[in-house]
C-alpha cells in the first residue's frame, strides 16, 4: 500500500465516531459474520451488489480489499455485481484514483476491464457484471446490497449465506454538476469509514 493510501486509511479511522448508531448496528452484524468465518479458519467472500455495478458496488469491493490489506486480514476476498450490466463509471474511477489507487484500463469497449492496484502484489480486475458472472462466487458468500433498488428488485441472491441491506446515496445524481467531484469523494469517504469500521472490529 503506497504512502497516499496509507494516509487515507489512517485518516478514515478518525471518523468512526461519526457513523450513526443505526448504521453501526448493521455494520456489526457484518463484523460478526466475518469474525465467525475467521474463527472457523474459513475464507470470507463479500459481494457488493448494486443495480448497474458501476459506482457504489465497485466502491464497496475495492475499499473492502483495501481494508483487508490495511488490517492484515487476507482471508477476506471481495467481489461486486449488478442486477444489470453497464460499465465502471469514469467519475467513480476518478474518485478512487484521487485517494491513491492506480487504475488502468485494458481495452476499449462499452464495458472495459480495469486493473485496480494498491500494492506491488495486490490488485483486482474491475468491470460491470451480473451476480452470476463466472468471476463471482456461487456459494458461501455475503451479499451486501449497496442500493435500495437492488435490495427491492433482488430479494433472493442464490448462494448467499448472509445478506445485508446497506444502502448508500447514489453519487450519480450529481453527474454533470459543480458538485460532481466532491460528492463522489464524499461517498468514497463514507463507504470507507463504514467498511474500515467493520474490519477494525475483527480479531485474527
Q: DSSP labels for the chain? A: --HHHHHHHHHHHTTGGGS-HHHHHHHHHHHHHHHHHHHTTPPEEEEEEESSSSSHHHHHHHHHHHHHHHTT-TTEEEEEEESS-----HHHHHHHHHTT-EEEE---SSS--EEEEEETTEEEEE---BTT-TTS-SSSEEEEE-SHHHHHH-S--TTEEEEEE-----GGGGTTSTTHHHHHHHHHHHHHHHHHHHHHT---
User: What is the per-residue pLDDT for 80?
Assistant: 97
Structural domains present in the chain: 3-11+56-169+178-200 (3.40.50.2300)
User: What is the per-residue pLDDT for 148?
Assistant: 78
- Tens of pLDDT, residue by residue over 50-91, are 999 999 999 999 999 999 999 999 999 999 999 999 999 999
pTM, two decimal places: 0.95
Dist CA 106 CA 141 (whole Å): 28
Amino acid at each position: 500500500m503506497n504512502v497516499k493510501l496509507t494516509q487515507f486509511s489512517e485518516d478514515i479511522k478518525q471518523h468512526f465516531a461519526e457513523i450513526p448508531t443505526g448504521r453501526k448496528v448493521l455494520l456489526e452484524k457484518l463484523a460478526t459474520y466475518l469474525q465467525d468465518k475467521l474463527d472457523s479458519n474459513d475464507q470470507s467472500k463479500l459481494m457488493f451488489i448494486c443495480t448497474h455495478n458501476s459506482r457504489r458496488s465497485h466502491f464497496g469491493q475495492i475499499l473492502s480489499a483495501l481494508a483487508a490489506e490495511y488490517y492484515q486480514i487476507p482471508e477476506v476476498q471481495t467481489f461486486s455485481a449488478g442486477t444489470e450490466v453497464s460499465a465502471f463509471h469514469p467519475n467513480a474511477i476518478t474518485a478512487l484514483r484521487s485517494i491513491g489507487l492506480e487504475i488502468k484500463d485494458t481495452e476499449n469497449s462499452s464495458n472495459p476491464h480495469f486493473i485496480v492496484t494498491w500494492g506491488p502484489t495486490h490488485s483486482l480486475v474491475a468491470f460491470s457484471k451480473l451476480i452470476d458472472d463466472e468471476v463471482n462466487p456461487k456459494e458461501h458468500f455475503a451479499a451486501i446490497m449497496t442500493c435500495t433498488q437492488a435490495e427491492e428488485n433482488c430479494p433472493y441472491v442464490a448462494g448467499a449465506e448472509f445478506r445485508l441491506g446497506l444502502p448508500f446515496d447514489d453519487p450519480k445524481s450529481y453527474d454533470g454538476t459543480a458538485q460532481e467531484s466532491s460528492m463522489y469523494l464524499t461517498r468514497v469517504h463514507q463507504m470507507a469509514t463504514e467498511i474500515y469500521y467493520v474490519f477494525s472490529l475483527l480479531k485474527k
